[in-house]
Chains A and B, each alone.
Chain A
Amino acid sequence: MITSIERNNCAECEHRMTCVGAAAGNRDASQRIRIARHATLYEAGDAVSDHIFNIRSGSFKVLRAASQQPAHIIGFALAPDFLGLDALDRERHANTVIALEDSEVCSVNWNRHAFEGRRRPVMRASLHALLSREIRREQRAALMLRNTQAEQRMADLLLSLSQRRVEYGHVAEQFRLPMSRCDIASYLGVTAECVSRLLLLFRQRALFELRRRDIKLLDLSALQRMAIGSPPEAAMVAS
């Protein structure tokens, strides 16, 4: 599904600082790969290489199946997130990663032995901090699902996307929402109709403005209150 591989011109890349010494200052450290919309970067069962992927532009959805269950979307990855951090210790990928739009990723070697002398591997401390942050993100995604109410989950998704923008040095309120309603539904564990209803409800409460794919959060503190949720008694009844 990979459509083109070309030399990486890292000097021009706005995300080169996130590649933590892997690519910056060394143009041969990685390869740039173009992935067309709906194409797969890798699939569950594919062999894992020594590479992790940094999204240079575009966005992806990550799918995972719990034993013998249908696959669900377990996450969204937006530039400049990394992909493949969960597979350093695996022989085969457990997740399937699909492009939500035409995207570009850089394939970065993380193994310090593979290209000794010739290419710089991802630096140790940065790699560990990166992995550590990814653990926190995944913990948060799982926490979201322990909230029984769809409203809470929706608020949490918007806040976590917003927080990531902040981590990458952007404003918290404005970002793109590249995923479809069906994708959001799969991620939140609700129906697509429910997502449409939630989006409408959030707009009526003036929590955000949505223009096509561009979202502007209007009331972060209200979203935060929603994400924490209603009193425990109410939450108890719902499951």
Chain B
Amino acid sequence: MTALELAQCQLGSQVQLARGEHLFQMGAAADGELYFVRSGHLKIYQPCGDGVQRIIDFSRPGDWLGVDTIGEQYRHASAQALTDCQLDVVQYRHLAELMDEEPYSCDLFSAMLSREIDRQQLAAAILRSAGACQRIVMFLLQRAGPAPQAPMLEAHSPLPMSRQDISDYLGLTPATVSRTLSSLKRNGWISLGQRGFVVQSRPALERLAAGAPLAIAPHAA
């Protein structure tokens, strides 16, 4: 189901969030609400005392939020805006009515939920693959998306979360994340901007993801 279809159906109302604001808090009533991210980035996390957070996921434009609490009474996690955000609020109830009229959209919605399971499984598989460098590189490749037609067409991928957020998400320390990112940059495999990065050498990153050690990987000119 695309943003366009939703907009046509007039299902949602809009909500704006400023950077740092919460969309919902863990333990709050879910009220059958789902959210579609139109613009901006959020983090989904569980606060667990002493200011410690457990990051579950980052979401970006085109993602759905709340699909992990369908049929549940309460939110099992909090969602906080990492940048200014624009979202559609959609009642699952309304979506269900639409799906009764349009069985195909029901299949699309099921497929989207299924992809979400698949994505979480892949995240878990990445966390099990040992090396810190591998995890970071796979995380970057995942955010960069599929390869463009030509290497020079590599797009700028936003990285709106803090090093602390990334390290919590990948089960590493912020120092390791910073060290690895600057090492990738020094080798010329990525370029790092203020709030994002651009892939410079996909083959090199893919070698690292496949397990090549960072130190011995051949240096780019």
Contacts and interface: CB of A to CB of B under 8 A. Distances in A.
Nearest to B170: A146
Contact of B209 (A67, A131, A136): A67
A1 interface: no
B209 A142 contact: no
Contacts of B77: 139
Contact of B67 (A112, A132, A142, A143): A132
Contacts of A68: 209-211
Nearest to B118: A86
A95 interface: yes
Interface string B106-121: 1101111111111011
B128 A146 contact: no
A113 B107 CA distance: 10
A168 to B, nearest CB: 16
B114 A85 contact: yes
Contact of B128 (A74, A136, A138): A74
A147 interface: yes
Interface string B155-185: 0000000000000111111001000000000
Contact of A88 (B48, B71, B110): B110
A64 B113 CA distance: 19
Interface string B62-87: 00000111111000110000000000
Contact of A89 (B100, B111, B122, B123): B111
Contacts of B116: 131, 135
A138 B114 contact: no
Contacts of A125: 71, 96
B103 interface: yes
A132 B46 contact: no
A88 B111 contact: yes
Interface in A192-239: 228, 231-232, 236, 239
A72 B72 CA distance: 30
**Count class of interface residues, chain B:** 35 or more
A225 B124 CA distance: 23
A94 interface: yes
B109 to A, nearest CB: 7
A97 to B, nearest CB: 12
B110 A66 contact: no
A145 interface: yes
A110 interface: yes
A141 B67 contact: no
Nearest to A232: B52
Tell me whether chain B's interface is mostly helix, strand or loop, or mixed.
helix
B103 A113 contact: yes
B117 A138 contact: yes
A142 B120 contact: yes
Given A69-B129, A143-B54, A145-B127, A86 B71 contact: no
A206 B173 CA distance: 33
A128 B71 contact: yes
Contacts of A135: 67-68, 113, 116-117, 120
Nearest to A148: B171
A69 B56 contact: no
Nearest to A84: B114
Given A66-B138, A125-B71, A139 B122 contact: no
Per CB-CB distance, the 3 closest pairs between chain A and chain B, nearest first, are A138-B120, A129-B71, A88-B114
Interface of B: 46, 48-52, 54-57, 67-72, 76-77, 92, 96, 99-100, 103, 106-107, 109-118, 120-130, 132, 138, 168-173, 176, 209-211
Interface of A: 64-69, 72, 74-75, 85-90, 94-95, 110-113, 124-125, 127-129, 131-136, 138-139, 141-143, 145-148, 189, 228, 231-232, 236, 239
Given A128-B71, A131-B70, 11 more contacts: A66-B125, A74-B125, A75-B124, A85-B114, A89-B118, A90-B114, A124-B106, A131-B116, A132-B70, A141-B124, A146-B55
